[in-house]
Structure 1
Amino acid sequence: MSDSTSTPPSSTVTLPSSADTSYWGFKIMIGVSSNDPEGAQIAGLEAKDYFGISEMAGSASFSTVNVKLIKGIVNVVNKIVDETVDIATDEAAAPIMDAWNESLKALEDAFDEDKIDTKVRDGWGKAHDGGYAIDEGGVLVCLPQAGGPLYHDDFQLESGASDGRLPKYYPQGKAFFPCNKPGGLLYLQASEAGTAHVLAYDSKDAFKDNQGAYNIEAWVLRPDLMPAGMTFEEGLEKILSMPPNTAIANPDPGVS
């Protein structure tokens, strides 16, 4: 693969510095293992960067048996400079998607699908009965100002969040629960430079009995580098429309 496309997925990816490039938008694929307390990590975020979630798929169980540590995966698939999308296209996109699909399959195969049947939550924290779990399950996004991954022990949801993980039910500024309900939060601005952690929500010492994974489409927007006259909404729309996204937003990791 050329430098203008992507590198094979790992549990950490580093965004290019704005001092070295004029990239202002990034689309990122993330596979979050539910039993990894560190989560997938996006390094190189800068103060004022917006980090958001656009799509999530997959399920995980938060009460099974002890499972060996499985690391998540993350990959930047495309980025924007000025109004030009810097991606691989046509046949050149195949290495990116092949590497991603192989990594996602390995993440899927690491868990026993037959045991993903107790305390099952999707990425939004929603259980099979339609309610939202308060103590565990779903995805938590921690921005650099959080100082690392946060857990139930130090970032708790209030009881009302059983109807949806709206921002009024948890502390603001350091992290957020992606919520696709009206009034929900899907992005947060970094107030300092550093690394974002995207992880399953659980108590710090409770990850070993989790099974399953979440497949996520995420994005980063650097407002100071956007083309003159472009609004935040226009910039976000352009990032979300960047191909390839059909293999990101709608795959089933095989763990539901």
Structure 2
Amino acid sequence: MDSLEKDIIDLDAWLQLPAGRYVLEWEQALLAKLTVDIFGYNAVQIGMPQIDGLAASRMPNRWLTNSVLREPNIVEGETEQRPIVLLHDFSELPFDSQSIDLIVLPHVLEFTNEPHQLLREVERVLIPEGRLIISGFNQASLWGARQFVGRLNKNYFLPQQGEFISFTRMKDWLKLLNMEVGGHEFGCYVPPCRSENWLQRFHFMENAGQKWWPYLGAVYMVQAVKRVRGMHLIGPAWKQKRMARGNAVAVVNKAKK
């Protein structure tokens, strides 16, 4: 079993804990809000099958891919998970260049051995003006501080093998690939509690955190748009013809004068 598969199993187990379910609930709600108004034809979620990041998308083609096959963990009262339709190496996406309108990467960059290569592949397969949504654990948070202490005493709170990427560094990576950051959200402001009861007791900190320390949420989600240098969007052909006709009339009138 390679290191990547071990990391994914580690994340699988963590997501079934109260803190993991808390994160999944926040991300599911936000992804539904973000993807519902992104239009196109082809949308792909790469990795983390425990969440359906494309549930609210209106695109006709919506796929979930992963590096390894995972049996769905169906929890009573929850909807059935989207099936994995394709297994592939995260460093090589099996899609044509400029063929995908939307890609969702939920925590994938933190648990792959080659995050830069995956981002380069994502940029390759996205169409010009295509959208990318990334979620990750925030190092600058109570959870990030707890994880740092856990690395010292071997008492981890978050998945042990995750290489968490700061929000600032993530923006720098995207900028290098001509991906323009279009918006971001932070969430999950409660302290790093392991029990459901304590998570509920501190739930009041969600509203307080959004108001008073918005960048210190345990999880962030960032949107980006693929920009292509030298490309200019033009209007419909009928509009161009009408403009040309108007210019011609103006020239004729000027000549008559």
TM-score bracket, shorter-length normalisation = under 0.3
Task: Give the TM-score taking structure 2 as reference length.
Answer: 0.25
> Per residue, is there more strand in 1 or in 2?
1
Task: Give the TM-score taking structure 1 as reference length.
Answer: 0.26
Higher RCO (C-alpha 8 Å, min separation 6): 1
> Per residue, is there more helix in 1 or in 2?
2
